Amino acid sequence: MVVLTGAGISAESGLPTFRDADGLWEGHDPMQVATPEAYATDPALVHRFYDERRSALARVGPNAAHSALARLEEALGDDLLVVTQNIDDLHERAGSRRVLHMHGRLRSAWCTACDARHDWIGPLGHHPACPDCGTRELRPDVVWFGEVPHGMDRIEEALWDCDLFVSIGTSGLVYPAAAFVQYAVARGTPTLELNLDASDGTSDFDESRRGPATRLVPAWVD
């Protein structure tokens, strides 16, 4: 089983989604800030954008939807893969262990000089040195627009093999994640969407249920 999650699963934890905040995160347009060009032009602005989201993340916790997926993993083990577009760590803090962050992780820093990745809690904005090579080339370990998502081979393999594809809390606007349902449909795999509103891909799903994730996901899992 492959479960794809988006910002909507973390909304009830208190993290604003891209859509609900009228396309703004912490007052920034992600399309203008979550890009390599923005980082090259104004690294301090981009660091501030992620520092603010990292400190917001430290103030919230996982919700009943994250916990339900952790229970599902207890039951299914390796037969479940959670692919998340989210860069928060709420799935892991709810107990999920098999989580693939296709867009990276907010609490990880990536050294572009030595390619090392380090867990990071504090602000990166003050340009700390890389613990491995000492250079000041640490950037947020997130996949920006125009960059290649992580784990695509593993995701495609899981989509090829799965018996059920479930999408939770995503607007279906960002690719390649938004195309996963079409891939599953092409394989003849049953598809289910759990979302507050209709998404851009709703018509592709065999079944689409409307409501908040903290109600829909436990009801579906249990």
Q: Which of 138, 143, 181, 221 binds ligand BV8 (CB under 6 A)?
A: 143
Interaction between residue 124 and ligand BV8 (CB under 6 A): no
Least distance (Å) between residue 122 CB and ligand BV8: 18
Residue entry with tokens 């090259």: 40
Q: Exactly one of 13, 170, 189, 191 binds ligand BV8 (CB under 6 A); which one? A: 170
195 in a known ligand binding site: yes
Query: Do residues 80 and 73 touch, judged by C-beta distance below 8 A?
Result: yes
Tokens of 48: 């501030």
The residue among 27 and 146 lying less far from ligand BV8, judged by its C-beta, is 146
Which CB atom, from 31 or from 133, has the smaller least distance to ligand BV8?
31
- Closest CA relative to residue 203, chosen from 161, 174, 175, 167: 167
> Should residue 8 be labelled a site residue for ligand BV8 when binding is judged by CB under 6 A?
yes
* Segment lying near ligand BV8 (by CB under 6 A), choices 38-46, 136-144, 155-163, 201-209: 136-144
Q: Is 173 in the site for ligand BV8 (CB under 6 A)?
A: yes
Integer-rounded Cα radius of gyration of the chain: 17
- Cα 193 from Cα 53, distance rounded (Å): 27
Q: Is 159 annotated as a binding residue?
A: no
> Is 13 among the annotated ligand-binding positions?
yes
Q: Say if CB 86 and CB 10 are below 8 A apart.
A: yes
**Cα–Cα distance for residue pair 100/86, rounded to 1 Å:** 10
Q: Decide if residue 27 touches ligand BV8 (CB under 6 A).
A: no
User: Of the residues 47, 91, 101, 103, which is catalytic?
Assistant: 103
Q: Is 103 a catalytic residue?
A: yes
Listed residue (127, 4, 7) closest to 56, CA to CA: 7
Q: Which two tokens stand for residue 156?
A: 């495609």
DSSP SS3 for 8: helix
Q: Which of 2, 12, 13, 68 binds ligand BV8 (CB under 6 A)?
A: 12
Instruction: Report the interhelical angle of 64-76 vs 213-221 (nearest 10°).
Output: 20
Q: Assess 176 for contact with ligand BV8 (CB under 6 A).
A: yes
Q: Which residues bind ligand BV8 (CB under 6 A)?
A: 6-8, 11-12, 17-20, 30, 34, 85, 87, 103, 142-149, 152, 169-171, 173-177, 195-197, 199, 212-213
